[in-house]
Structure 1
Amino acid sequence: MTRTPPTAVTRVRLWRWRRNPLRRPSDLVEAWVVLATWILAVLGGACAGWAAAHSVDAGLAARRAQVHAVSAVLTDAAVRTVPDGSGYDDGRVWAVARWTGPDGSVHTDRAKVFPGAPAGTRVTVWADRAGRSVPPPASRAEGMLQTVLTGILVAQVTGTAVWAGGWLVRGALVRRRLTEWDEEWKRVEPEWRNFSGGGR
């Protein structure tokens, strides 16, 4: 006596895209939702990341164009040791420096110098177009790093948000389909019970 091998269950790929009697309109809608979600997540994330990186790069370039380095002179000698608990992390200290602005006006402000620098030492400070002291702009390497990290972060956040929105829509379609199945089963179950009972 030969035994009939169990029937293998074959998984049909892309069945939602193929015409078949079991495919419902909601299945096709779900397939389009999944496809659109992935496309928008990838392309939307890439475009948003590129736009954010371009905006950061333009902002850094504008900042560099608005400031310039000027040569200043220390008016007093800098302290010889870094104060304890002062928060200095680069081994330099603050000292008073003086420089002349583009309009010939004299400006005085603090500048970072190495400890023990004598009065009259020339240092470089950054000033705006009015000659006022400003923090130094980001270097090219720092600007590039900031631009890249911002683009990656915005791309990831945008892609994740689109993906999550698409899967929420897909979840709603699945819940709707399950509800429809329950309603159909309530209509079919009495007939199925009568049929199965009469066939015994």
Structure 2
Amino acid sequence: MWTAMGVWRWRRNPLRRPTDLLEAWVAFAALVFVLLVAPAVGCVTGLEVDGTLQRAARVQQQERYLVPAVVVRPAAEPPAGAGADATAQRQTPQRTPIVASWTAPDGSSHQGTVPAAEEPPQAGDRFRIWTDLRGRLVGRPLDPSVASAHAALVGLAAAVGAAALVETVRRLVVRRLVHLRYRRLDRAWAAAGPDWGRAGAGG
């Protein structure tokens, strides 16, 4: 609002310099962009990302299956002195690795090392794991609500980024205009300075 008032105030002011009016219009254009265009950019970006993530979520839900598994035995512990990576893993809280067996949706049998569903794991315990059609271990499919939340964050970031870009451009333009004013003032002072204060110099 103050920017629009500034444009109107400088419209007929006799002291107005061309750079003053240009600066006011640049500020007005930046304000319009921040209030109207940046939210639109964020909305379009968020919708596009949400559509992509929702399609990925649907594909994952169709291609990933929650199948029953049975604990066979605890997995072998890494050998002592296996290196810094093994030490870091032991210090990091995590579920106990176990050897489990499961049957894939296509009917094939599998056995592998997976994290235990409960602590402490006992042989014969039953739990469920995510696999693909052939029984290969996969992660949990993307939840549609989580996808929407991620898309909203991306849209918000796009809107903020667009507004920040416009403000940066506005500041750069204003900085150039200020430098231009100083150069013009220096030239005017260089022309009038030698005659400043002299009688009959047209002052």
Residue 74 of structure 1 corresponds to 70
C-alpha distance in structure 2 between counterparts of 1:63 and 1:128, whole Å: 15
Quote the offset at 1:145 in angstroms: 3.8
AA aligned opposite 1:118: Q
- Describe the SS at the equivalent of 2:197: helix
Name 2:106's counterpart in structure 1. Answer: 103
Partners of 2:195 and 2:201 within 8 A in 1? no
SS of the aligned residue for 1:96 comes to: strand
Cα distance change on mapping 1:66 and 1:141 into 2, 3 Å: closer
AA paired with 2:170?
Answer: G
Q: Is 2:109 aligned against 1:116?
A: no
Residues 1-200 of structure 1: matches in 2 within 5 Å?
Answer: 14=6, 17-67=10-60, 68-78=64-74, 85=90, 87-89=92-94, 92-112=95-115, 113-140=117-144, 142-195=146-199
Determine the C-alpha separation between the residues in 2 that align with 1:100 and 1:187: 93
What is the identity, as a one-letter code, of the residue corresponding to 1:93? T
Contact persistence 2:73–2:100 (CA under 8 A): no
What does residue 80 of structure 2 align with? Answer: none
Residue 10 (structure 1) aligns with: none
Per the TM alignment, residue 172 of structure 1 is displaced from its structure 2 partner at its CA by 0.3
The whole-number CA distance in structure 2 between the counterparts of 1:163 and 1:35 is 11
2:71–2:126 CA contact under 8 A, matched in 1 = no
Contact 1:72 1:97 (8 Å CA) reproduced: no
Q: How many residues align?
A: 182
Q: How much is the aligned-residue C-alpha RMSD, in angstroms? A: 3.3
Say if 1:189 and 1:96 are closer, same or farther in 2 by CA, change over 3 A: same
| Equivalent-residue separation in structure 2 for 1:24 and 1:117 (angstroms) | 80
CA contact (8 A) 1:30 1:173 kept: yes
Aligned-pair CA distance for 1:76:
0.7
**Runs of 5+ unmatched residues, structure 1:** 1-12
TM-score scaled by length of structure 2? 0.69
What's the TM-score, normalizing by structure 1? 0.70
Structure 2: runs of 5 or more not aligned: 76-88
Q: Which has the higher helix share?
A: 2
Residues 124-171 of structure 1 deviation map (CA, whole Å, 9 limit, x = unaligned): 222345542112134455444433333333322332122112111111
Contact 1:101 1:131 in 2 (8 A): yes
